[in-house]
Amino acid sequence: MAEVKLSITPIDRSPGNYKVEISGTGFEFAANKEARWKLMGDDPVSDNEIVDPHGSGVVAPDGTFNFTGNAIGENLDEDWGKDEIYAVVSIVGMGTTFDYESNRVSGHF
Ligand SMILES: [Ca+2]
Ligand SMILES: [Ca+2]
């Protein structure tokens, strides 16, 4: 089963900066296809897209991918109080676009 994992970790000695890692497994059906990723803020009414970072890459022949980006806390601060961030990975180039959501990462960014 296709699965996307998101992790957000503070960067040492760089206050307010975070390393974002998006990894996927089980994407054999999309081998060598393009995967575009973005981050979203989870909210009760409508989820907002995080402007940066975002990116794209290619799904490996074994159905995995691993993308990284840098985020500033200001962009991840999607909410008053605690923030809930998740990644959306879209597989393109297959006629239909397939979207996959990751786990939620909570924090005070
Ligand atoms: Ca929220
Ligand atoms: Ca916040």
Give the separation between CA 33 and CA 5, rounded to whole angstroms: 18
Sorting pLDDT into bands at 50, 70 and 90, what band is 96? very high
pLDDT in tens, 9-37: 999 999 999 999 999 999 999 999 999 99
- Please give the model's pTM, rounded to 2 decimal places: 0.94
Do the beta carbons of residue 79 and residue 107 sit within 8 Å?
no
Residue 108 Cα to ligand 1 midpoint, Å, equals: 11
Which ligand lies nearest to the CA atom of residue 85 in the structure? 1
Average pLDDT over residues 34-52: 96
Residue 32 Cα to ligand 1 midpoint, Å, equals: 34
Which ligand lies nearest to the CA atom of residue 108 in the structure? 2
Which ligand lies nearest to the CA atom of residue 74 in the structure? 2
Report which DSSP code applies to 73. Answer: H
Which ligand lies nearest to the CA atom of residue 50 in the structure? 1
Q: What percent of the chain has pLDDT over 90?
A: 96
Q: Give me the domains of the chain, ranges plus CATH numbers.
A: 3-107 (2.60.40.10)
